[in-house]
Amino acid sequence: MKRILGLGLVLGVIFIFACDEGKQAEGGIFSFGGGTATPEVWDLVLNQMPGLEEYYIKVISSGSVSVEKKAGSSKEFLSYFSVYSGAEIPLTSEGPIIRFGPGEGFNLVSGDEWAVLLDSGQGIGIFPTKANTSEVSLSIVSGTVSKKCTFGLFKGFPGIDLSGLGVNIQLSSATGLLLNRSEYQLSGDVPESSLLLFSTNPFIPVIAPGNTIGISYTREMVSDGAGGDFLLVRFQNDRALSTIESIRSQSASLQTINATFTANGIFFGLEFISGLSSATDYIRLDDFIVRINGIEVFRDDFEAGALKNGLPNYLWQSAKPLTMLGSAEVCNSDPISGTYSYCINGGRSFKVYGQGMSAGGISALQFTFSDGSLGSSYFVGGFLGMFQGPLLVGSYQGRNYDGDCTEKGEFFANINPTETPNLTGNYTIQIQGELKNCDDPEDEQAILLQITAPTMLQVNSLFGGMLTGMTPGTDSLGNTVSAQGIVNGNSLMLLVNTTVPANSRFYRLTLSGLANTSPITGQAMGWSTENLFPSYPACELEGMFSLSIAP
């Protein structure tokens, strides 16, 4: 199905009318201008667009099947496959991969058919479309691989997989960016970034509130002063974030840094965030030490040639782009001491430019990431967002200059983040939306959902608070509903879906909004169908939500 973001449409219309108004007269309801630019630190996060995929596998003969994909209200033929017991077939070049059998009694009956359903590339299940008589079991080996341009932002930003923390979300994130913003303009240089992260295990407390935490490390940075090069070191004290040092667009000589903190809770972590734009830029880190109440509890000088395994109490994690022109790893090239250091070497830089506007109490920003020429490639990422206090939320679309690759998603940007709120509690969610772009146009209508009493637990980590549903909720249609998500700085991303549908509507939604308000409000989008069983018409669901939290 074609997805059209409501936010994008609204802001797009505002921008068009604002530009037209600006040509005709000064002043009026729309405001554009220059103003004095202020440097801001942005934590920018991209999430690929959710969507329902339906494939149909039909038996042609005892050894062959055809595959079709649902496209609107019709089906698009993809291919024929020869199959046998134990065969694995990719329905498209990006997946999913389906296994037949294996087992005794393998027998395919002509005319039998199954539907394969996926959400955001992840398998929901395989369902017979009628009373099949074939003796075979079908299973999803792997889902679809979402299209990501080689030099695009999904691959160009460090990738973060939160499944190990109990939340099934994969994000691309560029953190610690320094951008200059006035009321109506945005500019800056964003170098290729990577993350080296150290933390306690959020599930195994090793500190208590009031403990003294000592951090020590040695670093050196060489920069040509161009492209926005930086090293930002931040300490996360339970939910509070503070800066140990920030080096921007300059070199920093070899130095040992010491910092001391008093624990606010049972979790702490350290972020080494780096951005380097050219092959001559580099950063070296070494001799990392952690002390609790003056006692050394962890040390890593990288002499093992890899990050030290501190499990179960302490965790090293690294995050870097899938397409990285530089490098970030333990290496033996010009180490600070001994044989090895942790080494970051430069790659590329994006130019950022944009224009903001305000109208009728709405402040919005349209901006672009452009990486210039990379061989024969030239990538442009376009963003359109609306401000909710210190949070910018909106839609993203990127493309190669020659148009052979495109990608899209949603984004949020925390601006000057300092703390993540605590959102543990019992949730009541109201969603007021529209069913749009339906396979059957007659299904397009307004929809109101009330979801009550999913109990959510927040576990703090370096990626924010992981929100896990401890008890299921129910909605006003009688469905059983589950929820999981992440709260990071001022932003909330919550995934809500039907787990046990009643005789009503099945849906999967992403809720995005400003986390430090009560109630929390924001944008809801996803898909819905009257029944999970295949061949039922599906719709996109877009609207707004309101979330209240009780102890």
275, 193 Cβ separation under 8 angstroms: yes
**Pairing mode, if any, of strands 446-461 and 295-300?**
unpaired
Domain shared by 92 and 228, yes or no:
no
Give, in degrees to the nearest 5, the angle at Cα 445 between 448 and 441: 150
Boundary-marking domain end, from 299, 332, 349 = 349
* Residue 68 placed within a domain: yes
Q: What is the CATH number of the domain that holds 159?
A: 2.60.120
Token code pair at residue 514:
């400003």
Instruction: Report yes or no on 86 lying in a domain.
Output: yes
What would the pLDDT profile of 195-213 be if each residue is shown by its tens digit?
A: 999 999 888 999 999 999 9
Quote the number of domains for the chain. 4
Same domain, 387 and 325: no
pTM of the model as a whole: 0.80
- Residues of the chain above pLDDT 70, percent: 87
Question: How sure is the predictor about 222, in pLDDT bands with cuts at 50, 70 and 90?
Answer: very high
State how far the Cα of 330 lies from the Cα of 298, in Å rounded to an integer: 18
CA dist 538 and 540 (Å) reads: 7
Q: What is the pLDDT of residues 97-133, one digit of tens each?
A: 999 986 667 889 999 999 888 876 777 778 888 888 8
- Which amino acid, one-letter code, is at 43? D
Residue 183 lies in a domain: no
pLDDT tens-digit readout, 272-325:
999 999 999 999 999 999 999 999 999 999 999 999 989 899 999 999 999 899
Nearest in space to 405 (alpha carbons), one of 441, 383, 378, 442: 378
Are the beta carbons of 54 and 117 closer than 8 angstroms?
yes
Q: Are residues 330 and 240 in the same domain?
A: yes
Residue 22 lies in a domain: yes
CA 415, CA 391: separation in Å to the nearest integer? 6
- State mean pLDDT over 139-164: 81
Nearest Cα neighbor of 78 from 101, 100, 102, 53 is: 53
Query: In this structure, which amino acid lies at residue 439?
Result: D
Among 396, 415, 434, the domain boundary falls at 415
At residue 533 the predicted structure's pLDDT band, cuts being 50, 70 and 90, is: low
What confidence category does residue 31 fall into, taking pLDDT thresholds of 50, 70 and 90? very low
Can you give the length of the chain in residues?
551
How far is residue 107's CA from residue 277's CA, in Å, rounded to a whole number?
58
Return the beta strands (E) in 389-490 as ranges. 391-400, 406-415, 425-436, 446-461, 464-471, 473-475, 480-488
pLDDT tens string 405-427? 888 888 999 999 999 999 999 99
Q: How far is CA 522 from the centre of its chain?
A: 17
The residue range of the domain holding 228 is: 153-176+189-349
Find out whether 382 and 12 touch, Cβ atoms under 8 Å.
no
> Does 24 have pLDDT greater than 50?
no
